[in-house]
Amino acid sequence: MLLSRDQLLNMYRKMVEARRFEEKVVELFYAAKIPGFLHSAIGQEAIAAGIGAALEPQDRITIHHRGHGHCIAKGLDMKKMMAELFAKKTGYCGGKGGSMHLADFDSGMLGANGIVGGSIPHAVGVALADKMRGTGAVTVCCFGDGASNQGAFHEALNLASIWKVPVVFFCENNLYGMTVPQSYHQAIRNISDRAVGYGMPGVTIDGNDVLEVYVTVRRALDRARKGDGPTLIEAKTYRHRGHWEGDPDATEELYRPREEIEMWKARDPVVTFERELKERGYISEEEVKAIDEEARRKIEEAIAFAEDSPEPDISEALTDIYTD
Amino acid sequence: MRTISMLEAINEALHQEMERDETVFVFGEDVARQGGDFGATRGLWKRFGDKRVKDTPLSEAAIAGIANGAAMAGLRPVAEIMFGDFMTECYDQIVNHAAKARYMYAGQFKMPLVIRTAVGAGMRAGPQHSQSIESWFVNVPGLFIVAPSTPYDAKGLLISSIRDDNPVLFLEHKMLYNFKGEVPEEPYTIPIGKGEIKRPGKDVSVIAYMKTVHQALEAAAILDNEGISAEVVDLRTIIPYDRQIILDSVSKTKRAVVVHEAPKTGGFGAEISSFIHEQMFYDLEAPVVRVAALDCPVPFNPRLEDYVVPSTADIVKAVKSLF
Ligand SMILES: Cc1ncc(C[n+]2csc(CCOP(=O)(O)OP(=O)(O)O)c2C)c(N)n1
Ligand SMILES: [Mg+2]
């Protein structure tokens, strides 16, 4: 699989945007500009960017509660994302959903979800619809290690495999489901082992390596597009921050050994990829700076947009409950 | 007397019951090492160890189902479902199994389990983390549904729920976790199915539970200034609800307002209202009025969220409409 320099830089750009976006929203959360719950995926950007780059425009994605980066990688507008996080009318869901419910159907981003595992069967249904209609689109279904213990995961994988639905299951194994380490919540190390039980290929990869993510997803997409059915990809990764903002483990060791956090921070996917690109001469220090500045500028614009946007009108509490 | 929060009261009840009865065990997502997402189970794992305090995988159906099995086998499981909204994930185990097992197996065993869960709006947590869920369960005979409003009630009712031989759904309103009140240190019980007059009055009965009790009390204080004496009835238990306390209160006041945070249509207020109408229609000075959330999901936007759930002002207005 050959990648052009443009493609590589684009992946890098998405990773930087995701990182800067999340750093900023964390700040805004503590400044009480963003209400509700906020889950950052800082440290997991390679997954979002690798998947985003592998998708064709018609392809779709479902995400869980940790998906700002996926939205950015799928081409969503950071302005409308930020506005949604600010609970403003101009946000993707009119301020009624928030971070846990970001969605933009036009971009093929079918929704973050607050029910862990809840969107896994949706991905199968969407992919089934694409199969029935012959659109050629494939859906990538992202979820966490914790979600792989939900009944919905097992039921959805089973159905997807017997119906050969064009879906790619992508498990972001960041080694914890909230505060519970993987070894306490399942007796296997590689979640991809579960693929065997559903008769589909399963593969475990380094989720901090954007190129490995890209290549693996690309292959699974091709397979699904050909009608050969689903794949389960498990990507090992790590979130640098707490489960959600406000998680006391962020400042005081509660459930994650500090050495473990340091070990994974040393494998920071953004830094690693940047180093690789530099070493291979794909990018100069100036370009790195320019990409960073551009990302910051876009995010500042997004914040200004969100700040200046109106709140939803009170009457909107009662819209979209049903179709008109 | 010592003052502690509702969260601390729940925590203390769990400690004391585990101490007293070794068949009591606690499990759920993040309840052991972390002590629960909200902190209700803090310290239990350190005190009682892995055997009796267990973190589970993200598997609500298994959590409730295993509580059922353990209860059948004679243990007293106290399971936590982190948010009431996630009860849907284990709805089958509660509705078709916990509530019916004793009945359909003709009383061959008891089902002494408790499922605790955090409910209600106010955290800006959006449509899937803010719901009031009691009505999803009130139409399921075989379950008790307990819904305390104060730390004192929470402790006594949780102890009763754990000791009770029936399945109990124990609802904890998130916005009350930090609410403080006087709580005795020693264990005590409050009977399931008994309400309490939280403020006596003579002109109108305001019947509420959980967070809306406090709003009803605020409303009563406001109404007092305007010459209306409101009696605040805290049901404390939703199923079986205290019919006598309602009859006694409303036969005195002849007017009633029912308040809850769940959507109005099909909400528990409809049951209370029908009950009052059936029992004492001809004694009433005015029809029973319900104050409840609008019939919509709970939106993320804070202004919208506050708008859809009932406010103290809504209660005041409803009461005045009866005169
Ligand atoms: C059905 C359900 N149960 C529990 C929760 C609470 N919860 C939110 S995220 C989470 C952990 C999810 O872990 P994982 O799937 O590994 O995703 P991660 O947060 O690690 O990205 C839990 C328990 C929920 N939102 N939905
Ligand atoms: Mg995880």
Residue A1 pLDDT exceeds 80: no
CA dist A236 → A141, A272, B88 (Å): 16, 15, 30
Q: Which of A78, A72, A10, A77 is nearest to A291 (CA)?
A: A10
The angle, 0 to 180 degrees and rounded to 10, between the axes of the packed helices A45-54 and A210-225 is 40
A3 min Cα distance to partner chain B (Å): 38
The pLDDT value given to residue B283: 96
| Token pair recorded at residue B8 | 């601390």
Task: Walk along chain B (323 residues) and give the pLDDT tens digit of each residue.
Answer: 999 999 999 999 999 999 999 999 999 999 999 999 999 999 999 999 999 999 999 999 999 999 999 999 999 999 999 999 999 999 999 999 999 999 999 999 999 999 999 999 999 999 999 999 999 999 999 999 999 999 999 999 999 999 999 999 999 999 999 999 999 999 999 999 999 999 999 999 999 999 999 999 999 999 999 999 999 999 999 999 999 999 999 999 999 999 999 999 999 999 999 999 999 999 999 999 999 999 999 999 999 999 999 999 999 999 999 99
The pLDDT value given to residue A2: 83
**How many C-beta atoms lie closer than 10 Å to residue A250's C-beta?**
17
Pocket test for ligand 1, best of B58, B60, B90, B133 (most atoms within 8 A of CB): B58
Across the interface, whether the CB atoms of B304 and A37 are under 8 A apart is answered no
Q: Which of B50, B187, B169, B194 is nearest to B111 (CA)?
A: B169
Percent share of chain A, pLDDT over 70? 100
Task: Report d(CA A272, CA B267) in Å as an integer.
Answer: 55
A244 min Cα distance to partner chain B (Å): 11
| Token pair recorded at residue A242 | 């707490």
Per-residue model confidence as pLDDT tens digits over A245-270? 999 999 999 999 999 999 999 999 99
Is the torsion defined by CA of A88, A94, A95, A101 positive or negative?
negative
> Within chain B, what is the greatest distance between any pair of CA atoms?
59
Q: Which residues surround ligand 2, an ion (CB under 5 A)?
A: A 144-146, 174, 176-177
Q: Which of A182, A185, A224, A174 is nearest to A201 (CA)?
A: A224
Looking at the DSSP bridge assignments, the partners of residue B263 are B293
Put simply, the chain B residues between 22 and 81 with a CB less than 8 A from any chain A CB are 29-30, 33-34, 37, 55-62
Task: Report d(CA B73, CA B7) in Å as an integer.
Answer: 30
Percent share of chain B, pLDDT over 70? 100
Is the torsion defined by CA of B47, B49, B55, B60 positive or negative?
negative
| Token pair recorded at residue A128 | 């089934």
pLDDT band (50, 70, 90) for residue A324: confident
| Closest chain B residue by Cα to residue A187 | B57
pLDDT band (50, 70, 90) for residue A17: very high
Type and span of the H or E element at A159: helix A151-162
Domain ranges of chain B: 2-183, 196-320
The pLDDT value given to residue A301: 98
Per-residue model confidence as pLDDT tens digits over A130-178? 999 999 999 999 999 999 999 999 999 999 999 999 999 999 999 999 9
CATH class of A5-307: alpha beta
3-state secondary structure of B116: strand
Supply the mean pLDDT for chain A.
Answer: 97
Domain ranges of chain A: 5-307
CATH architecture group of domain B196-320: 3-Layer(aba) Sandwich (3.40)
Put simply, the chain B residues between 96 and 135 with a CB less than 8 A from any chain A CB are 123-129
CATH entry 3.40.50.970 includes domain B2-183:
yes
The pLDDT value given to residue A142: 98
The pLDDT value given to residue A305: 98
Of the candidates B30, B128, B308, the beta carbon closest to that of A180 is on: B30
pLDDT band (50, 70, 90) for residue A182: very high
Per-position DSSP letters for A42-68, written without gaps between them: TT-HHHHHHHHHHS-TT-EEE--SS-H
Per-residue model confidence as pLDDT tens digits over A99-118? 999 999 999 999 999 999 99
Q: Which of B15, B97, B129, B260 is catalytic?
A: B129
Q: Which of A324, A323, A319, A322 is nearest to A89 (CA)?
A: A319
Of the candidates A87, A185, A312, the beta carbon closest to that of B57 is on: A185
B196-320: same fold as B2-183? yes
Across the interface, whether the CB atoms of A115 and B308 are under 8 A apart is answered no
Per-residue model confidence as pLDDT tens digits over B226-244? 999 999 999 999 999 999 9
